Chain A
Amino acid sequence: MTSQTTSGAGYATERETTEGRVFNVTGGDWDTITGGIDPLSNEKIVVNMGPQHPSTHGVLRLVLELEGETVTQVRPVVGYLHTGIEKNLEYRNWTQGTTFVTRMDYLAPLFNETGYCLAVEKLLGITDDITERANTIRVLFMELNRISSHLVWIATTGMELGAISMMLYGFREREYILDIFEETSGLRMNHAYIRPGGVAQDIPDSAVRKIRDFLKYLPKKLKEYEDMLSGQVIWQERTQGVGVLDVTGCLSLGVTGPVLRSAGLAWDLRKTMPYCGYEDYEFDVPTATTADVWGRYLVRMAEIRESLKIVEQALDRLKPGPVMIADKKIAWPAQLAVGVDGMGNSLEHVAKIMGQSMESLIHHFKLVTEGFRVPPGQVYVGIEHPRGELGVHAVSDGGTHPYRVHYRDPSFVNLQAIPAMAEGALLADVIAGGASLDPVMGGCDR
C-alpha cells in the first residue's frame, strides 16, 4: 500500500512503501525534505543518481547509500547504451566491422578500429604485410585521438568539479583534432578510417600542415590549463587524496591505463607488448605515486605531451608509399576522394570500374558485397587505449563474417572500481573518483 501526500508547502511528494518512506524530489525541494527528517532516526538514505545526470560522465546510474554525506555503498548500474554492436558484427562482413566498432567508445573511435583491424590482420596472418606508411598513419592518428580523448577528460572532469571554463577550453582544443580527422577521413567522429589491411585513404598534405600547426599550438594551451588548475586550491582539495586505488586494487579489479599508472605501475602496452611499430618511437610512460585523482590528472597531462612527441616523430617518418596492403584479395578496392560536394567515391575509380575494366567491376563487386574469407581460428589483441587495455577477441569460422568479436572495453572493466574508490568517502568524491576513471558509456555498454 502506498499513500501519496504533499509535505508542507513544498513541492516534494512522499509515499509510504513497504521499504520505507520514498520522496520524489525535483529542483530545489531539498529543504522540504531535510526539514522534516530527524537526522538521528533516519541515518540511512538511498539516493539514485543518474542515468541522466550531468555529473555521471555519461549514461551511468549510481545507487548510493548515504549516511549523512558519507557514502556507505555504491552500486553502479550500466547497460543504458547497450546497442548490440558485437551481435551486429556477426552479420556483416569483416570490413564492415570497422563501421560498427568505431561507434563503441565514441571518444576513442580510432582505437576501436585499430584494435579490430589488428585482430582481423592477425587472423589473416598479414600483420607483417601492413605497409609502413599505414602503420605510421595509424600511430599518428591514435596518438591524436589519445590527446583528444584526454582533452575531453580534462574538460568534463573540470566541469564536474566546478571548473566550468575547462569544459569550454578542452572541447575547443579537441575541435582542432576533429578538424584534422575530418580533413583526412571525411568525418569528425566514427571514421571507419582504419580498415583491415591498412587505412581507408592517404592523409592529405593539408592535414599534415594542420597537425604541424597543432603541435605548436597545444603546448601553450596545456600550460594554460596547468596554470589554471594545478595551483588552484579548490582543484587540489577536490582531487588530492580522493578516489585512492593502489596497484593491488587496480590489478585485482582489472583497472589499467592512466588509473593504474597513477598508482605507480608503468604498465603501458605500447611499451610492454608493442604493436603498430610503437617500439620504434621514443616516449616515456608517465606515472604518479599518489594513486588518487590528482595523480591521474598529472598522468593524463603528461601523456598528452608524450603523445605530442609521438605525433611529431610519426610525421617525420611519414614517407610516401601505399597505405593499403598489396594483396588484392584483401585490399579494399574503392578509394575515396574529396569532390565539390564533399567526400565520395573517387571519380577515377568509378570511371575505371564502370567504363574500362569489367574485371575490376567484378572484383570490386565481390569484395565489397561479399568480402574476403578469414581462416578459422581465434586471436586476442590488446592495445593501449586512453582508458586502459582495449582487448579484442575475434573468432573466425572461415567465412566472410566474424563468428564472434568481443571487446574488452576498459570503461566497462574500470567502472567496477567505483565502489572501491567511493565507499567511505564523501558524496562529492564519488563524482571526482568516477570522473577520474574516465568512463565512456558507449564503450562500456557496446
Chain B
Amino acid sequence: MTNESDGGVPATQPVGADLDAPAQTPPSPDKGMFGVKGTGDVSGFGGLARRRPTTADTARPFGGYFDEVHDALEEAYPGFADAIEKVVVDRGELTLHIKAERIAEVCQIMRDDESLRFELCSSVDAVDYLGSDNRRFHVSYQLTSMTYRRRVRLEAAVAEGVSLPSVTSVYPTADWQEREIYDMFGVVFDGHPNLTRILMPDDWEGHPQRKDYPLGGVPVEYKGAEIPPPDQRRVYQ
C-alpha cells in the first residue's frame, strides 16, 4: 500500500532485500506498479479496476429474424421453457442464454431443425465474469446458418468447478476450441474426446485467461536461476 500524500512511496518496507535476491514489495491490490490509479495503468501488474456489466432481458418483438429463430426453437425443442434463461438482443445480435447442462441438446436442434439450420459453429469461446456473476465462466457459441444467412449466439454460464456438456458430437469443429477454453479458463467439457491443453505447455499450472491470473505474473525461469515476476521485483518509484 502506498500513502497518497508522500507521492507514491511505498509505506511497507520491501522484503527480501538481502544480497542475493532482488528487493520485493508485496503486490498492492489497488495500485499499479508505478503508483497508478484508475484505468491509466497499462503495465497490467496492478490489475485493473473492473466494472460489473449486467445484461437485461429483451422484450418482444426482438426484430429482424430473431423472432423467427426464437419461435422455431421453441417449436422444435420441447424443453425450451426450461432451458432458456434469458434472451438478449443487443447491437443487432441475438444472444440466447442457455442452461449449461442443456447446451448440447440445444445445439443439436439448432443444427438439425429445418427452420433453424445453423450448420456452422463459427466460434466457441469463453469470458470470465469474475466478481460480477457467481457462474463466472460464460461459454459462448457463435452459430451461423448458411441456409438463411443468420447468426445467433448461445451463451452458457458455469461456476468454477462445474462442467458442461461438450458439443463436439454436434459440431466436431468445437474440438480444439473447447480445448482452448479448458486450457485458458479451466472449464471442463464432459464428453470431449481429448480434453488436454492446446496452446500452453502440457505441464503449465493455472489458466491464463482467468481474470485472477496476472499478466506476466509468473517467474521467468532460466536454467539454474529464476527471476521473480515483474510485479514482485524491485519497485522504482
Q: Which A residues lie at the B interface, using CB under 8 A? A: 78-79, 82, 84, 86-88, 90-93, 96, 122-123, 125, 251-256, 265, 267, 272-273, 369-371, 376-380, 382, 389, 391, 393, 395-401, 403-404, 406, 408, 412-413, 415-416, 445-446
User: Which residues from chain A contact B134 at a C-beta distance below 8 Å?
Assistant: none
Whether B21 sits at the interface, judged by CB under 8 Å, is no
Cβ of A125: which chain B residues have Cβ within 8 Å of it? Answer: 91
| Contacting residues, chain A, for B151 (C-beta < 8 A) | 273, 380, 382
A252, B52: Cβ atoms closer than 8 Å:
no
B116 at the interface (CB under 8 A from A): no
A398 / chain B contacts, CB cutoff of 8 Å: 51, 53
How many A-B pairs have beta carbons closer than 8 Å: the answer is: 136
Residues of B within 8 A of A (CB-CB), count:
48
Considering only CB atoms, which chain B residue lies closest to A409 in the complex? Answer: B123
Q: Are B91 and A123 in contact (CB under 8 A)?
A: yes
B93: chain A residues at CB < 8 Å are 378-380
B122 touches A382 (CB 8 A): yes
CA distance A252 to B49 in the complex (A): 40
Contact of A377 among B39, B90, B128, B144 (CB under 8 A): B90
Considering only CB atoms, which chain B residue lies closest to A389 in the complex?
B122
**What sequence of 0s and 1s flags, for each residue 206-228 of chain B, a beta carbon within 8 Å of any chain A beta carbon?**
00110000010000000000000
Whether A416 lies near B173 (C-beta < 8 A) is yes
- Complex CA–CA separation, A92 to B91 (angstroms): 24
Q: Contacts A79-B199, A370-B40; is A252 near B90 (CB within 8 Å)? A: no
Instruction: Report how far A53 CA is from B2 CA in the complex, Å.
Output: 52
Whether A404 contacts B122 by the Cβ 8 Å rule is: no
Residue of B nearest to A417 (CB): B173
The residue from A90, A254, A445 contacting B121, defined by CB atoms under 8 A apart: A254
Q: Which of B39, B121, B128 has most A Cβ within 10 Å?
A: B39
Nearest chain A CB to B232's CB is how many angstroms away?
Answer: 17
| Chain A contacts for B197, CB-based, 8 A | 79
Determine the distance from Cα of A284 to Cα of B37 in the docked complex, in whole angstroms: 53
Q: How far is the CA of A376 from the CA of B50 in the complex (A)?
A: 11
* B234 CB to nearest chain A CB (Å): 21
Please, how many angstroms separate the alpha-carbon atoms of A412 and B173 in the complex?
Answer: 10
Instruction: Determine if A408 and B123 form an interchain contact, defined as CB atoms under 8 angstroms apart.
Output: yes
Can you give 5 A-B contacts (C-beta < 8 A)? Answer: A84-B215, A378-B153, A397-B50, A397-B51, A445-B199
Q: How far is the CB of A31 from chain B (nearest CB, A)?
A: 34
A416 in contact with B200 given A125-B91, A404-B128 (CB within 8 Å): no
Name the residue of chain A whose CB is nearest to the CB of B55.
Answer: A377
The answer to whether the Cβ of B120 comes within 8 Å of any Cβ in the partner chain is: yes
Interface residues of B in 58-113 (CB under 8 A from A): 90-93, 95
The verdict on A413 contacting B53 (CB below 8 Å), with A370-B40, A380-B151 known, is: no
Chain A hits for B140, CB < 8 A:
378, 380, 393
Chain B proximity of A195: nearest CB distance (Å): 17
B99 smallest CB distance to A (angstroms): 19
Q: A84-B215, A389-B144 are in contact. List 12 more A-B contacts (CB 8 A).
A: A82-B200, A86-B209, A90-B48, A122-B91, A272-B149, A377-B90, A380-B123, A396-B53, A399-B49, A401-B48, A406-B127, A413-B173
B125–A393 CB distance below 8 A: yes
CB distance from B166 to the nearest CB of A (A): 14
CA–CA, A255 to B171, complex, Å? 12
Taking the closest CB of chain B, its distance from the CB of A364, in whole angstroms, is: 15
User: Is B30 part of the binding interface, using a Cβ–Cβ cutoff of 8 Å?
Assistant: no
Chain A residue numbers with a CB within 8 Å of B159 are none
Shortest Cβ gap from B87 to chain A (Å): 14
B: residues with CB less than 8 A from A are: 39-40, 42-44, 48-53, 55, 90-93, 95, 119-123, 125, 127-128, 140, 142, 144, 146, 149, 151, 153, 171-177, 180, 197-201, 208-209, 215
Which B residue sits closest to A371, measured CB to CB? B39
A contact residues around B180 at 8 Å (CB): 412
CA distance A86 to B125 in the complex (A): 12
Docked complex Cα distance between A395 and B91 (Å): 12
Q: Report whether A78 and B125 are in contact in the complex, using a CB–CB cutoff of 8 Å.
A: no
Does B121 lie within 8 Å of A87, measured CB to CB? no
Question: How many Å from the CB of B119 to the closest CB on chain A?
Answer: 5
Given A84-B208, A88-B215, A413-B173, A403 and B127 contact (CB-CB distance below 8 Å): yes
- Complex Cα–Cα for A274 and B164 (A): 34
Q: Are B171 and A397 in contact (CB under 8 A)?
A: no
Contacts of A252 in B (CB 8 A): 171-173
B122 with A408: CB separation less than 8 A: yes
Closest to B170 in A: A252
On whether the beta carbons of B142 and A397 are closer than 8 Å, the reply is no
Q: Are A254 and B215 in contact (CB under 8 A)?
A: no
Chain B nearest Cβ from A232, distance in angstroms: 34
Q: Does A413 contact B50, Cβ atoms closer than 8 Å?
A: no
Contact check, B119 vs A251: say whether CB atoms are below 8 A apart: yes
Please measure, in the bound complex, the distance between the C-alpha atom of A15 and the C-alpha atom of B226, giving whole angstroms: 33
Closest B residue to A255 using CB positions:
B173
List the B residue with the shortest CB-CB distance to A248. Answer: B119
Distance between Cα atoms of A253 and B172 in the complex (Å)? 5
**B91 contacts A379, C-beta separation under 8 Å:** yes
Verify B39–A376 contact, CB threshold 8 A. Answer: no
Q: How far is the CA of A87 from the CA of B44 in the complex (A)?
A: 10
A78, B199: Cβ atoms closer than 8 Å:
yes
Instruction: Write out the residue numbers on chain A whose beta carbons fall within 8 Å of the beta carbon of B40.
Output: 369-370
Closest residue of B by beta carbon distance from A272: B149
Q: How many whole Å from A263's CB to the nearest CB in chain B?
A: 13
Q: Which one, B42, B120, B123, B209, contacts A87 given CB within 8 A?
A: B209
Nearest-CB residue, chain B, relative to A91: B44
The docked-state distance in angstroms from the alpha carbon of A369 to that of B146 is 42
- Docked pose: A41 CA to B51 CA in angstroms: 65
Query: In the complex, what residues of B have CB within 8 A of residue A416's CB?
Result: 172-173, 175-176
Given known A-B contacts A398-B53, A408-B142, A413 and B153 have beta carbons under 8 A apart: no
Greatest chain A CB density within 10 A among B122, B177, B197, B215 is at B122
